[in-house]
């Protein structure tokens, strides 16, 4: 007997929907993110930076600190940046610390019910070195924010501790809201610590309440250069575009740090801003000051601002003000000179700079902050290499966007090759971004100074070039920069 097994009709036989997976590169968010680098314990060394916005920086940073002051100035300008990154520079060796797990108990009633808390703190590398903490009383706490302080008091109260540095340990919530035990021991070789319950249970175990099973010991850092700090921060997140830093107050050390900083920036597709109060910058004949040195090295990507008495007004950041005012604007559309700033004074601390002093600063390749007609602003918006910061940003924007366009095209097409189809697409990307650059007034397009795109034909490549699989196209476009005007002189004649 034969049985016919008819195939049932499936929905997909009538309606077929497919999802096509495409690979694409997410464009860089923008070129409007400032990275301020500072040696501050507020920034955890395991994260290397924190990112804040206008709405949360006051909740993140201590109001008496420099990070707070920088962010306040940055976000108080006529434009508002989307965010600000503050990165950690371990100019001096950093401390070791322990991040307790994210599951630590945050219910106040749970803690206040404990008057006999206990746990063990020990050195990770030598776990036989430990101290047992007992009798920790939380019953007097009226806020969950008091709990870290009570744990700290118990640790510091240990008589003749075995764990090195326990007498000056601190316990607090860091800027990321993590419960953190920080030791005074510094450097990469310093012992890290951890916590656990007592070997022989006694009292109420609070190691579990602190989520010790998910705790992460963090080693200290040895003192590092600004170059090493930049590398470490950008390895975590590479979106910071304009970099600034809090350099040393001592002139010799500061100058050495600025030179390292500017050299590093020159090797990146980023911009930098440095401040100096060296009085020699005001001497037009001096050839030893840091601005003259940077100008002699033709550093095109770093701008210098002369700002008198930096150590006398440490919470005033003209770099934060200028960048906050300009970088939120569309790339290349706004110059860094003569933008109205708030929250800062002019470069001269006791008295305004004279015309001769301003000329000396700009002659050495630097910029000043000046107040004219009640408006405070940067002048003249140029880098040490004599380039406009605006133009450098516009160049980076153009190069980056064309690069992203081409990469997206190559990963989405079945084949890109040495043929006219590919060359036409590449030329289109350059043409499109060039037209945007014209709209942004980065370049011009006139009869005398046209923007031109000239890509080769597929037959213009030699056999050796095609065999190399490396498409190199030279002089495929030409553009003329649209320089900004910072000063004006108009001469006319009146006759009768």
68/50 Cα distance (integer angstroms)? 12
From CA 242, how far away is CA 239, in angstroms rounded? 9
- Nearby residues of 262 by Cβ (< 8 Å), 6 or more positions away: 272, 274, 294, 297, 299, 301, 302, 384
d(CA 133, CA 147): 15
Place of tokens 């993110």: 33
Measured CA to CA in angstroms, residue 405 lies from 393, 401, 476 at distances of 18, 6, 16
Helix (H) or strand (E) holding 372: strand 368-372
Q: Is 401 helix (H, G, I), strand (E, B) or coil?
A: helix
Q: Which pLDDT score is estimated for 311?
A: 85
Query: How far, in Å, CA of 55 to CA of 340, rounded?
Result: 23
Written as tens digits, the pLDDT of the chain (496 aa) is 444 555 677 776 657 676 655 556 656 667 989 999 999 999 999 999 999 999 999 999 999 999 999 999 999 999 999 999 999 999 999 999 999 999 999 999 999 999 999 999 999 999 999 999 999 999 999 999 999 999 999 999 999 999 999 999 999 999 999 999 999 999 999 999 999 999 999 999 999 999 999 999 999 999 999 999 999 999 999 999 999 999 999 999 999 999 999 999 999 999 999 999 999 999 999 999 999 999 999 999 999 999 999 888 999 999 999 999 999 999 999 999 999 999 999 999 989 999 999 999 999 999 999 999 999 999 999 999 999 999 999 999 999 999 999 999 999 999 999 999 999 999 999 999 999 999 999 999 999 999 999 999 999 999 999 999 999 999 999 999 999 999 999 999 999 9
- Cα–Cα distance list, 3 to 8, 10, 494 (Å): 15, 21, 111
- Which pTM value belongs to this model? 0.91
DSSP 341: B
Residues with Cβ within 8 Å of residue 249, at least 6 apart in sequence: 310, 311
pLDDT of residue 221: 97
Residues paired with 481 in a beta bridge: 443
Other Cβ atoms within 10 Å of 346 Cβ, number: 18
Cβ atoms of 34 and 84 within 8 Å: the answer is: yes
Q: For residue 1, what pLDDT is reported?
A: 47
- Cα–Cα–Cα angle for 169, 170, 172, rounded to 5 degrees: 155
pLDDT at 15: 73
Q: What is the pLDDT of residues 384-434, one digit of tens each?
A: 999 999 999 999 999 999 999 999 999 999 999 999 999 999 999 999 999
Q: How much is the pLDDT for 391?
A: 96
- Tokens 């476009």 found at: 477
CA angle (359, 362, 365) in 5-degree steps:
150
Helix (H) / strand (E) containing 274: strand 271-276
How many angstroms separate the CA atoms of 192 and 12, rounded?
A: 60
């Amino acid at each position: 007997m034969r049985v016919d097994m008819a195939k049932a009709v499936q929905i997909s036989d009538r309606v077929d929907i497919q999802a096509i997976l495409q690979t694409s590169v997410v464009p860089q968010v923008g070129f409007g993110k400032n990275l301020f680098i500072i040696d501050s314990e507020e920034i955890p060394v395991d994260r290397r930076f924190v990112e804040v916005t206008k709405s949360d920086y006051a909740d993140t940073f201590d109001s008496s600190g420099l990070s707070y002051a920088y962010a306040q100035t940055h976000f108080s300008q006529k434009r508002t940046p989307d965010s600000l990154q503050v990165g950690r520079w371990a100019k001096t060796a950093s401390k070791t610390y322990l991040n307790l797990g994210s599951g630590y108990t945050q219910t106040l009633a749970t803690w206040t019910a404990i008057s006999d808390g206990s746990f063990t703190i020990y050195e990770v590398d030598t776990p036989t070195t430990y101290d047992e903490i007992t009798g920790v009383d939380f019953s007097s706490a009226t806020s969950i924010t008091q709990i870290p302080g009570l744990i700290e008091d118990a640790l510091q109260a240990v008589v003749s501790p075995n764990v090195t540095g326990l007498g000056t340990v601190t316990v607090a919530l860091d800027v990321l809201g993590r419960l953190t035990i920080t030791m005074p021991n510094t450097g990469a070789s310093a012992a890290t610590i951890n916590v656990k319950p007592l070997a022989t249970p006694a009292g109420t175990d609070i190691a579990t309440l602190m989520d010790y099973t998910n705790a992460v010991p963090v080693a200290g850092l040895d003192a590092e250069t600004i170059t090493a700090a930049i590398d470490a921060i950008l390895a975590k997140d590479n979106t910071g575009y304009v970099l600034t830093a809090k350099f040393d107050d001592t002139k010799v050390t500061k100058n050495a740090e600025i030179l390292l900083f500017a050299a590093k920036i020159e090797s990146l597709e980023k911009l930098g801003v440095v401040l100096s109060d060296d009085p020699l910058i005001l001497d037009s004949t001096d050839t030893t000051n840091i601005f003259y040195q940077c100008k002699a090295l033709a550093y095109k990507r770093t701008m210098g601002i002369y700002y008198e008495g930096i150590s006398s007004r440490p919470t005033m950041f003209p770099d934060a003000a200028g960048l906050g005012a300009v970088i939120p604007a569309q790339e290349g559309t706004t110059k860094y000179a003569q933008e109205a700033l708030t929250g800062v004074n002019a470069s001269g601390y006791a008295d305004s700079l004279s015309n001769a002093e301003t000329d000396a600063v700009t002659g050495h390749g630097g910029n000043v902050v000046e107040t004219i007609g009640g408006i405070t602003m940067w002048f003249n918006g140029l880098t040490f290499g004599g380039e406009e910061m605006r133009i450098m940003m516009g160049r980076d924007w153009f190069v980056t966007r064309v690069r992203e366009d081409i990469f997206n095209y190559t990963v989405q097409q079945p084949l890109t090759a040495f043929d006219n189809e590919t060359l036409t697409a590449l030329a289109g990307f350059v043409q499109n971004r060039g037209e945007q650059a014209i709209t942004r007034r980065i370049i011009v397009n006139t009869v005398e100074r046209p923007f031109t795109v000239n890509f080769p034909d597929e037959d213009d490549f030699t056999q050796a070039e095609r065999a190399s699989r490396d498409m190199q196209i030279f002089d495929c476009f030409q553009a003329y920069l649209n320089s900004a005007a910072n000063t004006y002189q108009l001469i006319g004649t009146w006759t009768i």
